Amino acid sequence: MSPWAIALIIYSSLALLSFLPVLRVLVRWVDLNPGGPSFDQSPHFSDDGKLLLAQNFERMQGTLKFWKTQAERYRTFHIYSLAWISLSTVGVPLLAQATTEDPWSKWLLTVVATHSAVLLAVSRAFRVEAHYKAFRSGESEFYDLYRRMLDRPRVFGPDQREQIDRYFENVETVRRVVRSAETDNFPSVEDAQGAVVLRTDSQSSQPGTRQQ
């Protein structure tokens, strides 16, 4: 078997095997971590206040699970894409110089370039990095508010009613910010087309690329 064919099999196998962790994250939901003592055990609030806060936190569970799952999906895919695009950036010019009359060498160059182009197009069209930052920041900001309300409720106001109202307002603000970031980063066909064109142009301008 041609050494180029063996190299193609190795590259394809590694690309597929390294994608399996990404695929596993894409098809499952991430569980929330245990949060420790919650509002039910807080000494700062009355029974009515605890009930209001506990109900609000319970309603946020679905949102928090969605944010955490989305953040993990985008993070995992971003790491996968970044690794393989970086390898392709170095590998494609070297392969272009090393190709021979063996058709397998041209297939290897084509597969490496196409794999990288697809990852780049998907990452840009779906704004993977921006989505990860938005969901991760929203999750982190909510838990900062949550812990602050548990530990230092007086920073929200002098009395319980004001503390709870201001806490709820801050939670709503975090939700609006994340929702706005999600819609602003909505997948774009134009971005996908631009990414493919940009990647194709950069590859065709590589020095030493053989013209067929």
Per-residue pLDDT of the chain (212 residues; tens, 9 = 90+): 789 999 999 999 999 999 999 999 999 998 888 777 888 888 889 999 999 999 999 999 999 999 999 999 999 999 999 999 999 999 998 888 888 888 999 999 999 999 999 999 999 888 999 999 999 999 999 999 999 999 999 999 999 999 999 999 999 999 999 988 888 776 655 554 554 454 445 444 444 444 33
What is the DSSP track for 112-133? HHHHHHHHHHHHHHTTHHHHHH
Which helix (H) or strand (E) is 183 found in, with range? helix 160-184
| Cβ contacts of 173 within 8 Å, gap of 6 or more | none
Q: Are 38 and 54 in contact (CB under 8 A)?
A: yes
pTM: predicted TM-score of the whole model, two decimal places = 0.80
C-alpha span between 104 and 91 (Å, rounded): 16
pLDDT at position 40, please? 86
